[in-house]
Amino acid sequence: MARRILFITTDQQRFDALGCNGGTVARTPVVDSFAKEGIRYNRALPSNVVCMPSRSSMITGQHVSTHGVWMNGVTLPVDAPSIAADLWRKGYRTSLIGKAHFEPFLDPFALFTENTIATQGVETVMHKNADGTEEPHRGFEHLEFATHNAMGPLHYAQWIRANHPEGADMLYPIINRKLQVNEMGGGDTGAPQVKHNPMPLEWYHTEWVADRAINWLSSQSDDDDMFCWVSFPDPHHAWDPPMSELHRVNWRDLDLPAGYISDPAERERILSTKPAQWLAWYNGEFVSNFEAPAQWVPNTLTADQVREVNAMVHIENELIDEAIGRIVGVFKDRGWWDDTDVIFTTDHGEFQGDFGLLFKGPYHVDSLMRLPLVWRPAPSRVGVTTPTVVNTPVSLVSLAATFAHIAGLPQPAYVEAARLPLNDAESIELKHERVLTEWDSVLFGKIVSLRTITRGSWVCTATLPGTLHDGTDGELYNLVDDPLQHHNLWHNSDHRTTRDDLLADMWEHLPERKGVRRECDAPV
């Protein structure tokens, strides 16, 4: 009996994007059905709240300090551990279709392997190991890459330019001619990085990723073990779904998100109780993440712009769910569904108006850290699974060990977290006691470093010395009493013992950086 793993990721998707997690706008019946048949994790967290570090943790099973991808633009070494390589060595057919982002996208001199691969076809190049053996790049024998636009050499961009050249200019131009992140507003409200996109749905990258995944799956044998990673670029900004789909959600009908603080004075008061990077970014005085447009000032964001951004995101989430449904249809038509484990998640979240902000950066709150994660185990492998909700915090660092477990492999020596638990009782057995999240950025000469522990109902973030911080400030929230994280208890004397205990636990378990910190190779 073949074992199959379907790993589905989105990019920059919030926990509340899904109906199974309480979302009430986007219709996500396919992913919701995974939760009805398996395990829904109520508090899954990333190792880092931007793309490259988080994705590197997924494939290596390591924390940021260990794999060394400490910010976007720092390349994951080609010889880094890869669970896909372990599966390939065991005989699995392996593919990654969609967004990889283990290496920078901005690559005018073709310095990075994945951009070079995209110019050579879809079957990956072989790399020679120190012992003379050869393996496919990161263990994936089939690679087809996409990102959010039609720039650069990736497969989707090449496909658009070759087949629908007029489509290349329909997508939002994320990088402007000065190689800066574009702050141009659009849509009905002038919201940043929103565009009414005239592209037909069948040309859009969500559909392309599903089409290419279906094409690869259709070429596989019924007897093959399989690891298929399908990685959708949406709902990451820019927010530009095809105009033909705007009827799905009318932004004028949307309520403002629960995390949006309508009164500007109260918003500024709450931001002022947090470490200095919060209010400084809100007022346009401090930018520490390249993906947030450097010239855009968050305090100019209007309520209607928040509504329109959210409408665009909900539309993109619906399109992803429908595309997943098409992929699942192949598994069912081929008679594979009962033999397939499905894991669905994302790399990090998005503010979407919480605290009057958009995008992401050094802000370790639920908007960016609480992620959708669902595991639907293969019925033929585990028997009937009672639908379960795991409330213990878990980390995306656990994914690599989970894939090994599904394949019947021992836990790899290089991973730093046990597999995902099947229930809360197993969380204790597997020692899922804490989740650690790291942030470092050195951008525009500005340095911000955060270290966070999530344990039980508490999340505690320490600021390290940097441009705005002397190492004495931080954040402490009780997620039960304060789910919106408006009340920072870091300096509250009544909670000092809890804070100090959490910090001691974090420093004891946070891995030390391996070797010299690598240079940032490119901005994104």
Here the CATH number for the domain that contains residue 345 is: 3.40.720.10
Q: How many residues does the chain have?
A: 524
Q: What pLDDT digit, counting tens, does each position of 347-374 carry? A: 999 999 999 999 999 999 999 999 999 9
Q: Does residue 463 lie in a domain region?
A: no
Q: Does residue 462 lie in a domain region?
A: no
Burial profile 193-222: b = 16 or more Cβ within 10 angstroms, e = fewer: bbbebebeeebbbbbbbbbbbbebbeebee
Q: Does residue 445 lie in a domain region?
A: no
pLDDT tens sequence for the chain (524 residues): 799 999 999 999 999 999 999 999 999 999 999 999 999 999 999 999 999 999 999 999 999 999 999 999 999 999 999 999 999 999 999 999 999 999 988 777 778 888 888 887 656 667 777 777 889 999 999 999 999 888 888 999 999 999 999 999 999 987 765 556 677 889 999 999 999 999 999 999 999 999 999 999 999 999 999 999 999 999 999 999 999 999 999 999 999 999 999 999 999 999 999 999 999 999 999 988 777 888 899 999 999 999 999 999 999 999 999 999 999 999 999 999 999 999 999 999 999 999 999 999 999 999 999 999 999 999 999 887 789 999 999 999 999 999 999 999 999 999 999 999 999 999 999 999 999 999 999 988 899 999 999 999 999 999 999 999 999 999 999 999 999 999 999 999 999 999 999 999 999 999 998 878 888 888 78
Q: Given this model, what pLDDT does residue 179 score?
A: 53
Range(s) of the domain holding residue 176:
4-263+302-433
Q: Does residue 372 lie in a domain region?
A: yes
Q: Does residue 297 lie in a domain region?
A: no
Tokens standing for residue 175 = 């990088």
**Long-range CB contacts (< 8 A, 24+ apart) of 408-411?**
408/3, 409/86, 409/87, 409/90
What is the total count of domains within the chain?
1
d(CA 354, CA 268): 13
Identify which of 49, 283, 295, 105 has the alpha carbon closest to the alpha carbon of residue 192: 295
Is 315 within 8 Å of 241 (Cβ atoms)? yes
d(CA 469, CA 474): 9
Q: Does residue 271 lie in a domain region?
A: no
d(CA 147, CA 170): 14
